[in-house]
Chain A
Amino acid sequence: MTKTDDFYQLEKPILQLKEQIDEILLAGEPGAAAKVDGLRLEIEKEWAKIAPHLSPTQIVQIARHPKRPYSLEYIAALMTDFMELHGDRRFADDPALVAGFAFFKGRTVAVVGQQKGRTTRERLDRNFGQMNPEGYRKALRIFKLAEKFGHPIVSLIDTQGAYPGLESEERGQAEAIALNLKTMFTLRVPIVCLVIGEGGSGGALGIGIGDQVMMLEHSFYSVISPEGCAAILWKDKSDPAIVRQAAENLHLRAQDHLALGLIDTIIPEPPGGAHVDPEATFKIVDKHLDEALKKLEGKPVEEMLEERYAKFRKMGVFVEK
Chain B
Amino acid sequence: MSANLWTRCNNCQRILYKEDILENLSVCPACGFHFRLSASERLAMLFDDGQFDIVDHNIQSLDPLHFVDSQPYSGRLEAYKRKTDLPEAAVTAIGAMGGIRTVICALDFAFMGGSVGSVVGEKIVRATERALAGKTPLIVVSVSGGMRMQEGLLSLMQMARTSGSLAKLDQARLPFISILADPTSGGTTASWAMLGDINVSEPNAFVGFAGPVVIEQTIKVKLPKGFQRSEFVLKHGFLDDVVPRKALRPFVIKALRLLLNRLQ
Q: A170-B236, A233-B149, A262-B153 are in contact. Are A182 and B164 (CB under 8 A)?
A: yes
Q: A171-B236, A320-B59 are in contact. Are A232 and B151 (CB under 8 A)?
A: no
Q: A174-B189, A249-B68 are in contact. Are A164 and B218 (CB under 8 A)?
A: yes
Contact status B214-A221, CB under 8 Å: no
Task: Tell me the nearest residue of chain A to B88, going by C-beta.
Answer: A318
Contact status A312-B152, CB under 8 Å: no
Q: A165-B219, A181-B159 are in contact. Are A175 and B167 (CB under 8 A)?
A: no
Q: A178-B191, A249-B65 are in contact. Are A317 and B151 (CB under 8 A)?
A: yes
B121 within 8 A of A: yes
Give the chain A neighbours of B119 by CB distance below 8 A.
316, 318
Q: How far is it, in angstroms, between the C-alpha of A67 and the C-alpha of B211 when the chains are bound? A: 31
A313 within 8 A of B: yes
Task: Tell me the nearest residue of chain A to B58, going by C-beta.
Answer: A321
Give the chain B neighbours of A251 by CB distance below 8 A.
65, 152-153
Contact status B209-A181, CB under 8 Å: no
Give the chain B neighbours of A165 by CB distance below 8 A.
210, 215, 218-219
**From residue 299 to 321 of chain A, which have CB atoms closer than 8 A to chain B?**
309, 312-313, 315-321
How close is B200's CB to chain A, nearest CB, in angstroms?
A: 14
Contact status A173-B62, CB under 8 Å: no
Contact status A319-B62, CB under 8 Å: yes
Contact status A169-B237, CB under 8 Å: no
Contact status B153-A166, CB under 8 Å: no
Give the chain A neighbours of B65 by CB distance below 8 A.
249-251
B118 within 8 A of A: yes
Beta-carbon contacts of B170-190 to A below 8 Å, as 1s and 0s?
Answer: 110000000000000011011
Contact of A169 among B152, B171, B187, B228 (CB under 8 A): B228
Contact status B67-A249, CB under 8 Å: yes
Q: A173-B210, A318-B59 are in contact. Are A223 and B147 (CB under 8 A)?
A: yes
A185 within 8 A of B: yes
Contact of B149 among A250, A260, A320, A321 (CB under 8 A): A250
A224 within 8 A of B: yes
Give the chain A neighbours of B62 by CB distance below 8 A.
317-319
Give the chain A neighbours of B187 by CB distance below 8 A.
201-202, 223
Q: A182-B167, A234-B69, A316-B119 are in contact. Are A162 and B209 (CB under 8 A)?
A: yes
Give the chain B neighbours of A178 by CB distance below 8 A.
159, 163, 189-195
Give the chain A neighbours of B192 by CB distance below 8 A.
178
Interface size class of A (residues with CB under 8 A): 35 or more
Contact status A312-B194, CB under 8 Å: no
Contact status B154-A169, CB under 8 Å: no
Contact status A169-B167, CB under 8 Å: no
How close is A193's CB to chain B, nearest CB, in angstroms?
A: 11
Q: How far is it, in angstroms, between the C-alpha of A208 and the C-alpha of B156 when the chains are bound? A: 11
How close is A210's CB to chain B, nearest CB, in angstroms?
A: 10
Q: How far is it, in angstroms, between the C-alpha of A206 and the C-alpha of B194 when the chains are bound? A: 14
Contact of B164 among A173, A260, A313 (CB under 8 A): A313
**From residue 134 to 177 of chain B, which have CB atoms closer than 8 A to chain A?**
147-161, 163-168, 170-171
Contact status A166-B227, CB under 8 Å: yes
Give the chain A neighbours of B195 by CB distance below 8 A.
178-179, 182
Q: A172-B194, A224-B149 are in contact. Are A315 and B186 (CB under 8 A)?
A: no
Q: How far is it, in angstroms, between the C-alpha of A134 and the C-alpha of B224 when the chains are bound? A: 22
Contact status B164-A185, CB under 8 Å: yes
Beta-carbon contacts of A223-242 to B below 8 Å, as 1s and 0s?
Answer: 11000110011100000000
Given contacts A168-B209, A252-B152, 4 further A-B contacts (CB under 8 A): A166-B223, A169-B215, A172-B238, A315-B157
A-B contact list, 24 entries, CB within 8 Å: A162-B210, A164-B214, A169-B215, A172-B237, A174-B193, A174-B194, A174-B209, A175-B194, A182-B164, A182-B170, A185-B167, A209-B164, A222-B153, A223-B147, A233-B70, A233-B149, A251-B153, A256-B153, A260-B153, A315-B154, A315-B157, A316-B121, A316-B158, A318-B122
B residues within 8 Å of A by Cβ? 58-62, 64-65, 67-70, 87, 118-119, 121-122, 125, 147-161, 163-168, 170-171, 186-187, 189-195, 208-211, 214-215, 218-219, 221, 223, 227-228, 236-238
A-B residue pairs, 9 tightest by C-beta? A164-B210, A316-B118, A181-B163, A174-B189, A174-B209, A185-B164, A174-B190, A315-B157, A178-B194
